[in-house]
Chains A and B, each alone.
Chain A
Amino acid sequence: MNKEINTSENNFEQCIKCTVCTVYCPVMAVNPDYPGPKQAGPDGERYRLKDPEFFDEALKYCMNCKRCEVACPSNVKIGDIIQKARLQYSSKKPGLREFALSNTDLMGTVATAFAPVVNGTLKLGAVKSVMDVMGIDKHRTFPSYSGEKFVTWFKKHAQASQQQYSRFVTYFHGCYANYNYPKLAKDFVKLLNALGYGVHLMDKEKCCGVALISNGFKKKAMKQAESNLSQIRGAVGAGEAVLATSSTCSFTIRDEYEHILGLDNSDVRDSVMLATRFIFKLIDSGQARLVFRSDFRKRIAYHTPCHMEKLGWSIYSVSLLKMIPGVEFFMLDSQCCGIAGTYGFKKENYPYSQKIGDSLFRQISALSPDVVATDCETCKWQIEMSTGFSVENPISILADALDVEETIKANK
């Protein structure tokens, strides 16, 4: 429907040079070295097609937030054009830092084994200096690693009891919920079980690969994506929806696999979604009910992650949060928090990263909520580090507010 006649795959010809995208690029607003979406995207593409020499390394400043695409009235896939150009033309080879930041699986596995040691060392002065030499900004605190991976916990404590259900979903937990914050994954299981769904995990879930893509490891990203897609196909073939609690994982599997990596995911794309969309649909169509505790009281401010804005799905998370009787809800202005995954970890990006998020941090501080809700783990780190307010995934908030017994009864 959106594909016009006579345009190339990435539809840069559809650009009518209206400049709208330049208004909404968070990087351009703070970093004059970045040429901006119009120049880096459709305008530059015209030159690059003529001669790859025209590739500008400053494209590395693009955070792939896709806010330009959301704004473009002509449906140009600006962010995709830029990411693809980086992967295709950049002569800068990714280094150790890029390797360390983007191989979340590997780093996670190693770190989990040594969690008590690693959590200490990631905060140590000496380690900070090494990070500094590597080009990782010293202000950053790495999320701490949990001593027990979610998957290990699940196998030990939850897997067996899933058999009692007759309907199932498959959970794509992602690296963060597995290594750093198993509580989120456990909350997911609690919620879905209460709604009458058993939870399956994929046999061999790999990192969705978002960090590999943005750090220039296309081959490895392809390999992981292909592996994930084949596992997802298994689940979808068995009639199960594949749910994620991270907006970025969902977005990467649904859109980046096809747009950036060129993999055909059309057979499973609609079945991969954010858990809040799945739950909202159940409730909206009368197939399930959530019953909440009467003593739950919280002032919650919701932050829309960039990839959530692109997915357009914050309406699901927000609608669910608003269903909790004791919640006083505030919608924060939809804007980038500045972290953009591994982007804000890099020393050269750190100051820009903080400047991009500044107005968001100020809005949060002024509201002073009990908790900030958001569907992205890196937004959580950024907001917690920059404001001191605690940040939770909507799934965790729902699980907290849930009257488990009553919900189970209501969905029997």
Chain B
Amino acid sequence: MKFDSIIIGGGLTGLVAGISLQSKGKKCLIVSAGQSALHFFSGSFELCSAPGDYEDALATLPSSHPYSRMGVARTLELASGVKDFFLSSSIKLSGEDKRNHFRITPMGVLKPAWLTLDGYASVPSDRKMPWKKVLVANVGGFLDFHSDFLMAGLEKEGVECIPYIINIPELDRLRTNPTEMRSTNIARALTGNVLCELASQLSKAGAGCDAILLPAVLGLNDPENANSLKARMDIPVEFVATLPPSVPGIRTQLMLKAHFQSLGGTFLMGDTVNEGVFEGNQLKGIKTVNHADMVFQADNFILATGSFFSRGIKASSTEVFESVFGLDVDYTEERPQWYSPDVFEKQPYMEFGVRTDDKFRVSRDGNVLSNVYAAGSVLSGFNGLKDGCGAGVSILTALDVADRIANGF
């Protein structure tokens, strides 16, 4: 079976690359071994950890960082188009021009954020809290949202918090299995009449507040339920991230995938690429677990298999390796230097990933593969967690590589 481009990995990186290429008329296949890191999404895409202006901060990143390798100018140019890019998949993001704003973590801490999903509580770059008094509501029995932490954090920032427990009989049945009272199950129950009931409870309890903060448990498939709740209320309702699974992350994944498919892209879910068919320094095709001897051919390939978490990169007791083709990997050979004993310290292993040339093309045994690119968290040279640049690297390198493929540079 023949495609123009094949993308291995269907997380944020793979989907952004796929949508970008497919909209430029390239016939794409995405193969994904399972669901992605978007299921843990906080609601905000991060570009870098600078509070406020980020242009200068980008220039100070080490030369190994994917942004430095694209160049600051190119990074900023690509970044400026991201809001519109997501809007084409009906995903609304908000963020300031060249400045980070702040997201509110489930622990009530303010963290720099680049673009935040519409409807999420956020604080502008000047750090001025948008409310004096808020109602912090949680669903009775829901253990993946700790309003006490959130309130303690907000009170430190000078916001008065009123706690409120939502009690709706329809949600009680979810408590049959206490471990399974999860965000996604609540999201499924919060529709139709239950939303009316929720709106009336919140309106009453939130009277006199500037806003109502709710755990992000609305709208698993589309933003409709969240919008319909808001439309019923006079007080603004804003969402705060829960512990996983992330309802807005799943929605983002579903909407990106639906957009990719509506553009004509083919998505194979739950299948693992396990072999490449090479000819010299070119990859001609791939094989997968489900399709055995069927070779999926393409002119070029993008590796978007993620890092350790998604098993794009793996470690044995002696080495770190790339899991699909055994590509060259940047890592420190001495094992004791892989990690720092203090878990809160920057962990060196987080920067391990595939080695790429200046066009993000990968190599095997030192030879660059001329038609295989890598993008997103499988890349080496950055620490998404500590540097707060996870989604930024994913989205921007995906766009960069897609652009190179489509325009041949």
Contacts and interface: CB of A to CB of B under 8 A. Distances in A.
Contact of B34 (A35, A75, A311): A75
Contacts of A22: 180, 182, 184-185, 245
B15 to A, nearest CB: 15
A23 B184 contact: yes
Interface stretch (B20-28, B101-109, B208-216, B269-277): B269-277
Interface stretch (B69-77, B132-140, B289-297, B336-344): B289-297
A392 interface: no
Contacts of A73: 33-36, 309-311
Interface stretch (A64-72, A137-145, A152-160, A207-215): A64-72
A9 B174 CA distance: 33
Interface in A25-50: 28-29, 32-36, 39
A314 B36 CA distance: 22
Contacts of B89: none
A284 interface: yes
A20 B188 CA distance: 15
B185 A71 contact: no
B268 interface: yes
Contact of A20 (B177, B245, B289, B292): B245
B177 A70 contact: no
Contact of B244 (A19, A311, A334): A19
A344 B293 CA distance: 36
Contact of B33 (A18, A75, A309): A75
Nearest to B182: A22
Given A19-B244, A28-B180, A29-B185, A71 B270 contact: yes
A312 interface: yes
Nearest to A39: B179
Contacts of A126: none
Interface string B153-182: 000000000000000000001111101101
Contacts of B185: 22, 28-29
A2 B272 contact: yes
A70 B34 contact: yes
A71 B39 CA distance: 11
B261 interface: yes
A253 B270 CA distance: 19
B266 interface: yes
A81 to B, nearest CB: 16
A39 B34 contact: no
A73 B289 CA distance: 15
B269 A313 contact: no
A20 B38 CA distance: 10
Interface in B288-334: 288-294, 309-311
B261 A19 contact: no
A36 B184 contact: no
Interface range on chain B: under 10, 10 to 19, 20 to 34, or 35 or more?
A: 35 or more
A412 B36 CA distance: 48
B35 A71 contact: yes
A69 B270 contact: yes
A113 B323 CA distance: 56
A270 B289 CA distance: 11
B362 interface: no
A319 B3 CA distance: 13
Contacts of B244: 18-19
Nearest to B292: A270
A367 interface: no
A74 interface: yes
A249 to B, nearest CB: 17
A312 B271 CA distance: 7
Interface in A218-232: none
Nearest to A334: B269
A366 interface: no
A368 to B, nearest CB: 19
Contact of A312 (B176, B177, B268, B309): B268
A310 to B, nearest CB: 7
A19 B182 CA distance: 9
A311 B290 contact: yes
A178 B176 CA distance: 43
Interface string A366-387: 0000000000000000000000
A296 B292 CA distance: 33
B87 interface: no
Given A24-B35, A69-B270, A72-B34, 4 more contacts: A35-B179, A39-B179, A74-B311, A331-B261
Interface of B: 1, 33-36, 39-40, 173-177, 179-180, 182, 184-185, 188, 244-245, 250, 261, 266, 268-272, 274, 288-294, 309-311
16 contacts: A2-B289, A18-B40, A22-B185, A24-B35, A32-B173, A32-B177, A33-B176, A39-B179, A71-B34, A72-B34, A73-B36, A73-B310, A75-B34, A309-B270, A315-B1, A319-B1
